[in-house]
């Protein structure tokens, strides 16, 4: 299998990489670029641990081929904090103890941010449906939902100034 | 395996007609890449159709909507025009997988995957949607119910691909709806799915109805006898009972861990009543 040359933007930086045609974006991110924040829980689109932004959509990077991101923009968990400043979602996940082992956390954060960017005032039901494709074996979800609700409220407060 | 992403229809046709080995079309990838990862398929060539501009959008055509084969379910559910005209098709497309899957999956792919339990397919069959297929000899338009021929099998040739799906314009006082039964609230495969599309006259009498069933046979079924039970009625309780009987009679389901034959047969009838009520309410406006 001949490798394919791909040029793309990841977290605002330009990357060039070579990948096999059957290699997923998740494998490229983790094994070729060294961005290991996105996790592989299933490789079948069921767990959401590999969630990244592809353009303006949250997607499972295990269900995207590396070759497909030529000329596109990818944003991963590594781009969420602003330098040393955590994103409010990251801060509140810690504050509300919305993680235990942490394996699912990058995926939840990326997916939750996509929700708040689109809908700054989601109901609890909307949050639960939006995050239904992110699985967590530890927390029982409730603390995650509280953390997202609280972050939304906090960010709306800031937006009002 | 080779991966190629042509930017024109002609380019894609050429690739498919010249291919010597097995090929796969890549649209949203939410079935194809799962199968690739699991090594269930090992195609020689993957043709990614998402760079073909012509099939990336939703266009208004004679009062209906043409949904390009590369349009994601999320784009479809966010489109006000499609939502207003075909709410049942949109709610069915919106049920496919998680948020992450919605951002990639397409209704064309849902159809081509050939699953009898595909959520968008009964809704599209009820809607009378028409599939535009491109091949070496040009394009052909086919009723959506003619595409699935068995579990995982379609009538689309190896050198062909879906260009778009047309959701037709509809008369006044029309409504459609889709419901599925799953044992939880999200993220599951239909145990039974029912799509109904109907039209009423000014006095509230049903003048046309199409009923389609998912997950109760080898393919999605269009059940004409079930549609007939509604035509000429006010969709009252008696008509709904007849509908349920006709729907259950058409079921030829399998027994599996998600549902027994008896369960699926009965639930199909119950769901059909609920779906008909929603469709009728939408038709009444
Ligand atoms: S690893 Fe991608 S969804 Fe589970
Ligand atoms: S914190 Fe362990 S899987 Fe979610």
> CA-CA distance, B127 to B120, in Å (whole number)?
11
Architecture of domain A4-79: Roll (3.10)
> CA-CA distance, B195 to B179, in Å (whole number)?
7
Cα dist from A55 to A24, A66, B86, whole Å: 17, 14, 27
Under a CB-based contact definition with an 8 Å cutoff, are residues B134 and B105 in contact? Answer: no
pLDDT at B220: 95
Of B126, B147, B167, the residue at which a domain comes to its end is B167
Nearest residue (CA) to ligand 2, atom 2 = A101
Do both B84 and B219 map to the same domain?
A: no
Query: Would you call B247 helix, strand, or coil by DSSP?
Result: helix
Q: Which residues of chain A lie closer than 8 angstroms to B97, CB-CB?
A: 45, 133
Q: Is the pLDDT reported for residue A160 higher than 80?
A: no
Cα dist from A28 to A32, A40, A74, A126, whole Å: 5, 12, 12, 32
Do both B102 and B182 map to the same domain?
A: no
pLDDT at B70: 98
Average pLDDT over residues A138-150: 97
Query: Would you call B26 helix, strand, or coil by DSSP?
Result: strand
pLDDT at B258: 87
Q: What is the CATH number of the domain that holds B232?
A: 3.30.390.50
Do both B150 and B183 map to the same domain?
A: no
Q: Is the pLDDT reported for residue B20 higher than 70?
A: yes
pLDDT at B185: 79
Strands (E), B183-269: 192-200, 206-214, 221-222
Q: Is A22 on the interface with B (CB under 8 A)?
A: yes
Using alpha carbons, select from B141, B132, B116, B249 the residue that is nearest to residue B191: B116
From the number of C-beta atoms within 10 Å of its C-beta (0-12, 13-18, 19+), residue B54 rates as middle
Cross-chain residue pair B100–A58, CB shorter than 8 Å: yes
Secondary structure element (H or E) that encloses residue A106, with its range: helix A105-118
Q: What is the CATH number of the domain that holds B85?
A: 3.30.465.10
Q: Is the pLDDT reported for residue B8 higher than 90?
A: yes
The structure tokens 């389609």 sit at: B212
pLDDT tens digits along A37-53: 999 999 999 999 999 99
Q: Which of A24, A36, A47, A108 to mutate to test the pocket of ligand 1 (most atoms within 8 A of CB)?
A: A47
Q: Which of A24, A60, A132 sits opposite B186 (nearest CB)?
A: A132
pLDDT at B166: 98
Best to test chain B binding among A65, A75, A131 (most B CBs inside 10 Å) = A65
pLDDT at A138: 97
The size of chain B, in residues, is: 285
Do both B139 and B71 map to the same domain?
A: yes
Kindly report the number of other CB atoms within 10 A of residue A126's CB atom. 13
Range of the domain at B135: 2-49+56-167
Q: Is the pLDDT reported for residue B142 higher than 90?
A: yes
Q: Is the pLDDT reported for residue A1 higher than 80?
A: no
Using alpha carbons, select from A92, A117, A118 the residue that is nearest to residue A105: A92
Do both B25 and B134 map to the same domain?
A: yes
Average pLDDT over residues B106-130: 96
Under a CB-based contact definition with an 8 Å cutoff, are residues B21 and B44 in contact? Answer: yes
Q: Is the pLDDT reported for residue B44 higher than 70?
A: yes
Do both B37 and B131 map to the same domain?
A: yes
Looking at the complex, report in whole angstroms how far the Cα of residue B200 sits from the nearest Cα belonging to chain A: 34
Cross-chain residue pair B99–A114, CB shorter than 8 Å: yes
> CA-CA distance, B117 to B247, in Å (whole number)?
16
Q: Which of A2, A24, A130 sits opposite B99 (nearest CB)?
A: A130
Do both B163 and B182 map to the same domain?
A: no
- Structure ipTM: 0.95
Of B117, B139, B167, the residue at which a domain comes to its end is B167
Do both B103 and B45 map to the same domain?
A: yes
pLDDT at A66: 98
- Per CATH, which fold does A88-155 belong to? DNA polymerase; domain 1 (1.10.150)
Give CA angle at A37 (A34, A41), nearest 5°. Answer: 110
Q: Is B101 on the interface with A (CB under 8 A)?
A: yes
The tokens for B245 are: 């009987």
Of B140, B167, B194, the residue at which a domain comes to its end is B167
Cross-chain residue pair A48–B100, CB shorter than 8 Å: yes
Using CA atoms of A35, A37, A39, A45 in order, give the dihedral in degrees to the nearest 10: -90
pLDDT at B184: 81
Do both B31 and B151 map to the same domain?
A: yes
The structure tokens 């599925």 sit at: B180
Q: Is A74 on the interface with B (CB under 8 A)?
A: no
Domain ranges of chain A: 4-79, 88-155
Looking at the complex, report in whole angstroms how far the Cα of residue B54 sits from the nearest Cα belonging to chain A: 18
Using CA atoms of A69, A74, A76, A80 in order, give the dihedral in degrees to the nearest 10: 180
Q: Is the pLDDT reported for residue A161 higher than 70?
A: no
Cross-chain residue pair B187–A130, CB shorter than 8 Å: no
Report chain B's mean pLDDT, rounded to a whole number: 96
> CA-CA distance, A128 to A132, in Å (whole number)?
6
Give, as one character, the DSSP assignment of residue A30. Answer: I
Do both B88 and B198 map to the same domain?
A: no
Do both B148 and B217 map to the same domain?
A: no
The tokens for B164 are: 């778009």
The ligand 1 atom at the shortest distance from the C-alpha of residue A39 is 1
Q: Is A135 on the interface with B (CB under 8 A)?
A: no
Do both B207 and B115 map to the same domain?
A: no
pLDDT at A86: 98
Alpha-helical (H) ranges within B54-189 are: 73-77, 80-85, 87-93, 99-102, 107-112, 120-127
> CA-CA distance, B221 to B121, in Å (whole number)?
10
Query: Would you call A69 helix, strand, or coil by DSSP?
Result: helix
Total domains, chain B: 2
């Amino acid at each position: 299998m001949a490798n394919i040359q791909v040029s793309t933007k990841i977290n605002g930086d330009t990357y060039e990489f070579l990948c096999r045609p059957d290699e997923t974006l998740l494998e490229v991110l983790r094994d070729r670029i060294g961005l290991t924040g996105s996790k592989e829980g299933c490789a079948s689109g069921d767990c959401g641990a590999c969630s990244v932004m592809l353009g303006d959509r949250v997607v499972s990077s295990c269900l995207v081929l590396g070759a497909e991101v030529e000329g596109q923009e990818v944003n991963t968990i590594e781009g969420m904090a602003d330098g040393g400043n955590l994103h409010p979602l990251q801060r509140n996940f810690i504050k509300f103890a919305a993680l235990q082992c942490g394996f699912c956390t990058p995926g939840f954060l990326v997916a939750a941010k996509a929700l708040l960017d689109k809908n700054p005032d989601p109901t609890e039901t909307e949050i639960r449906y939006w995050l239904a494709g992110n699985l967590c074996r530890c927390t029982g979800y409730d603390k995650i939902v509280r953390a997202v609700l609280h972050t939304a409220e906090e960010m709306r407060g800031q937006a009002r100034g | 395996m080779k991966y190629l992403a042509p930017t024109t229809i002609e380019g894609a046709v050429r690739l498919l007609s010249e291919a010597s080995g097995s090929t796969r079309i890549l649209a949203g990838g939410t079935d194809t890449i799962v199968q690739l990862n699991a090594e269930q398929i090992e195609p020689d060539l993957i043709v990614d159709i998402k760079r073909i501009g012509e099939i990336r959008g939703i266009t208004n055509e004679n009062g209906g909507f043409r949904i390009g084969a590369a349009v994601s379910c999320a784009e479809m559910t966010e489109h006000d025009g499609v939502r207003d005209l075909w709410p049942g098709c949109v709610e069915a497309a919106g049920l496919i997988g998680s948020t992450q899957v919605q951002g990639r999956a397409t209704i064309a792919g849902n159809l081509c995957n050939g699953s009898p339990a595909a959520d968008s397919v009964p809704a599209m069959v009820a809607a009378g949607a028409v599939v535009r297929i491109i091949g070496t000899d040009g394009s052909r338009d086919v009723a959506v119910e003619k595409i699935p021929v068995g579990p995982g099998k379609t009538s689309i040739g190896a050198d062909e691909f879906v260009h778009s799906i047309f959701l037709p314009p509809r008369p006044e006082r029309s409504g459609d709806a889709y419901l599925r039964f799953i044992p939880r609230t999200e993220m599951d495969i239909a145990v039974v799915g029912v799509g109904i599309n109907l039209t009423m006259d000014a006095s509230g009498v049903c003048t046309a109805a199409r009923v389609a069933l998912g997950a109760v046979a080898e393919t999605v079924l269009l059940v004409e006898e079930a549609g007939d039970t509604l035509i000429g009625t006010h969709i009252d309780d008696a008509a709904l009972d007849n509908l349920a009987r006709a729907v259950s009679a058409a079921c030829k389901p399998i027994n599996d861990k998600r549902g027994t034959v008896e369960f699926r047969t009965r639930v199909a009838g119950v769901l059909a009543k609920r779906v008909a009520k929603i469709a009728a309410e939408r038709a009444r406006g």
